[in-house]
Amino acid sequence: MQEIIKIPEARIGLVIGEGGKVKKELQKSFGAKLTINEDGTIEITSDDGLNVYKLKKAVEGIARGLSLDIVLSLCDDAYDLDIINLADVLGKNKNAINRYKSRLIGTDGRIKKIIEKKTDTDIAVHGHKVAILGKYDDVANAKSAVEMILQGNDFKTVFAVLDNKLIDR
């Protein structure tokens, strides 16, 4: 099976890594081959479609700012990566996107860190996308919190809803 994805050209170096280290580790861990082109297109091939799917998610995570160690958790079937496109939620207005990115991250990354801690996920904000990696239910809870913030909800409300979801587990 084969899949071709596109990542920002500026992020290709992160996927390759120093001396090709990241690329080799990804290929070894996910059992699939990466062919990386200078224009940002990446071809992922393997006989196993699940390996292609998982490696695609890992590459997307790295392209969005997650570290290699974090995306390697995708080798475990219990983990998933969800990417929220802020332009889909907020429209193409760059000022609105930047304002809500700042709101989502918070001063010194405080809001993002609280969501990560409460949901046991890793979150990266890069460009107009938000990447959330963790176990399925945790990703769903973090995504819900991010969407509430993007809808303009008060942080106190968002954290209270998160706390209630965690109690219900």
When divided into structural domains, the chain yields a total of 2
Q: Are 158 and 97 in a shared domain?
A: yes
Tens of pLDDT, residue by residue over 87-96, are: 898 888 899 8
Supply the pTM of this predicted model.
Answer: 0.93
Question: Mind listing the pLDDT tens digit for each residue in 42-84?
Answer: 999 999 999 999 999 999 999 999 999 999 999 999 999 999 9
Q: Is the pLDDT of residue 144 over 90?
A: yes
Q: How far is CA 17 from CA 12, 106, 118, 127, in A?
A: 9, 29, 31, 20
Q: Within 13 Å and on the Cβ side, how many CA atoms surround 156? A: 0
| 19: containing domain | 2-75
Q: Does residue 27 sit in the same domain as residue 62?
A: yes
Q: How far apart, in Å, do the first and last CA atoms of the chain sit?
A: 37
pLDDT at 168: 63
Q: Which domain-ending residue is among 54, 75, 96?
A: 75
Q: Are 12 and 66 contained in the same domain? A: yes
Q: Verify that 135 and 152 share a domain, yes or no.
A: yes
Residue 82, H or E segment:
strand 79-85
**Residues 150, 126 share a domain:** yes
